[in-house]
Amino acid sequence: MTLKIGAMFVAAAALLSACGDEGCTNETAQKKMMDLNTKVQAMAATAPEKMVAAAPKMQEIGTKLQAGSDIDAVCKAIDEMMVELDK
């Protein structure tokens, strides 16, 4: 599961590089994705059950990226995921 999630974040970063830059910029979104990836990788080692519980939200972010959602929606989803992982 960790490899699948890691691959999702790599794909997300690539997709973000092709997005528009209104509001939340590509650079900001890419940084947020890297921060989220770091947090998820740490969680995989220390609290895998928490990561499994958060998987649906992470999949939602991936779906938004694949659907071509606007960058602001993607940034908002990443921010929400970061808050969720901090609980």
Asked if 60 and 73 count as a contact pair (C-beta separation under 8 A), the reply is: no
Using one digit for the tens of pLDDT, what is the confidence trace for 39-77? 888 888 888 888 888 888 888 887 877 776 688 888 988
Please state, in angstroms and as integers, the Cα–Cα distance from residue 77 to each residue in 1, 31, 45, 60, following that order: 21, 14, 23, 8
Per-residue DSSP letter, 22: S
Return mean pLDDT, the chain.
75
- Residue 24 has φ and ψ, to the nearest 5°, of -70, 125
Using one digit for the tens of pLDDT, what is the confidence trace for 22-38? 478 878 888 888 898 88
Residue 21 predicted with pLDDT over 50: no
Give the global pTM: 0.64
